[in-house]
C-alpha cells in the first residue's frame, strides 16, 4: 500500500533526538561536532530535533544511571515507531569506566534495546558518521571478532606400546582422544 512505497524514504530523512543519561558530555560534544560544516551530516538528511516525539533515531550517550534509567525508558517509549537506537561512546555501549560505580546500573542495553553501537571515548566525528553510514547501508561493517586457537583440545596422545615400525616409518595402531 502507500506505506510500503513510502518506507524506502525512511532512510533518507532521519530525525535524531540526542539523549544523555549520565555521561561526561564528551560524546555530546562530538555529536554536536558532527553537525558542523566540516563533518556536515545534514547532507544525509539528518536533522537534530528537540522532542522525542518528532524523532526517528535516539542517539544515547552516557551509561544508564540509577536516577536516569526511568527517564531514559520514558524517552524511548515517547519515540514513535519505526525507531532506531544508537549507543554512542563506550559508556553507552558497555558501561564505560563507570560500570561498577555506585550510581550506574550499566550500559543502556539493560534499559532499552539498542540497534547500533559506536564505541570510542569519545568516538571521533568520523567514527560517528561511519556508524550512521553503516545504518544507512552506505558502507560495510569492519569490526570482526578475532579468535586465536593455537591447538584444538582435546589433544591427541600417543601410547608408546602401540607404535610399531613399518618400512622405517612409525605407525600408530590406536589413536585415543583424551
Partner 1 sequence: MYLLSKIRETILCLKAGRVTLPYPVNPRPVPERFRGRPLFHPDKCIGCAGCANNCPAREILIADQCQEMRVVMYLGRRCTYCGRCADLCPEKAITMSHEYENATPKIADIRQDLEIWMGTCQRCGRCFKNAGPLDQLMMKGYRFDDLSAELWVYRSRAYLDKEPVVKDIDIELG
Partner 2 sequence: MKGFVAAFFYSVLNLVLVLLVAPLFDGITRKVTAVVQSRKGPPITQSYIDLMKLLIKEDIEVGDSPVMQRFSALLSLAAILSVALLIPMGASAPLAGYADSILLIYLLTLAGTSVLLAGLAAGSPYSLIGMSREMMAMMTLEPLIAIAIIMAATHAASLRLDAVFGGAGYPGTHTPWSGILILGVIAFALQAFVGRMPFDVTEAETEIMEGPLMEYSGPKLALFKYARMAKMFVYTALFIALFVPRISTGFYLTDLLVFLAEQAVLMLVVTLIAATHARYRIDQVVRYYIILFILALLALLLAVLGS
Q: What are phi and psi of 153, to 5 degrees?
A: -80, 150
Report the nearest approach of partner 1 to the CB of residue 65 (Å). Answer: 10
DSSP conformational letter for 155: P
Q: What are phi and psi of 44, to 5 degrees?
A: -85, 0
Q: Is 131 in the site for partner 1 (CB under 8 A)?
A: yes
Report the nearest approach of partner 1 to the CB of residue 51 (Å). Answer: 20
Q: Is 12 in the site for partner 1 (CB under 8 A)?
A: no
Which grid cell is 82? 519505526
- Rounded to an integer, what distance in angstroms lies between the CA atom of residue 82 and that of residue 110? 21
Question: What is the sign of the dihedral through the CA atoms of 113, 119, 120 and 121?
Answer: positive
Report the nearest approach of partner 2 to the CB of residue 51 (Å). Answer: 5
59 sits in which H/E element: strand 57-61
Q: Is 24 in the site for partner 1 (CB under 8 A)?
A: no
Which of partner 1, partner 2, none does 82 bind, CB closer than 5 to 8 A by kind? partner 2
Using CB under 8 A as the criterion, which residues of the chain lie in contact with partner 1 when the complex forms? 37-40, 43, 66, 69-70, 73-74, 90-91, 93-97, 99-100, 105-107, 109, 111, 115-121, 123-124, 126-127, 129-131, 133-134, 138-139, 141-151, 153
Amino acid at each position: 500500500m502507500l506505506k510500503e512505497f513510502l518506507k524506502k524514504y525512511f532512510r533518507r530523512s532521519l530525525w535524531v533526538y540526542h539523549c544523555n543519561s549520565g555521561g561526561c558530555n564528551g560524546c555530546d560534544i562530538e555529536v554536536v561536532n558532527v553537525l558542523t560544516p566540516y563533518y556536515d551530516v545534514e547532507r544525509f538528511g539528518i536533522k537534530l530535533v528537540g522532542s522525542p516525539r518528532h524523532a526517528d533515531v535516539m542517539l544515547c550517550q552516557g551509561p544508564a544511571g540509577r536516577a536516569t534509567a526511568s527517564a531514559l525508558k520514558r524517552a524511548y517509549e515517547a519515540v514513535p515507531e519505526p525507531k532506531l537506537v544508537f549507543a554512542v561512546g563506550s559508556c553507552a555501549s558497555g558501561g564505560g569506566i563507570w560500570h561498577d560505580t555506585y550510581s550506574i546500573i550499566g550500559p543502556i542495553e539493560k534499559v532499552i534495546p539498542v540497534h547500533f553501537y559506536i564505541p570510542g571515548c569519545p568516538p571521533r566525528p568520523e567514527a560517528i558518521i561511519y556508524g550512521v553510514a553503516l545504518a544507512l547501508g552506505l558502507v560495510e561493517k569492519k569490526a570482526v571478532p578475532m579468535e586465536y586457537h593455537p591447538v584444538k583440545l582435546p589433544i591427541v596422545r600417543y601410547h608408546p606400546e602401540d607404535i610399531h615400525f613399518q618400512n622405517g616409518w612409525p605407525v600408530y595402531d590406536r589413536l585415543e582422544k583424551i
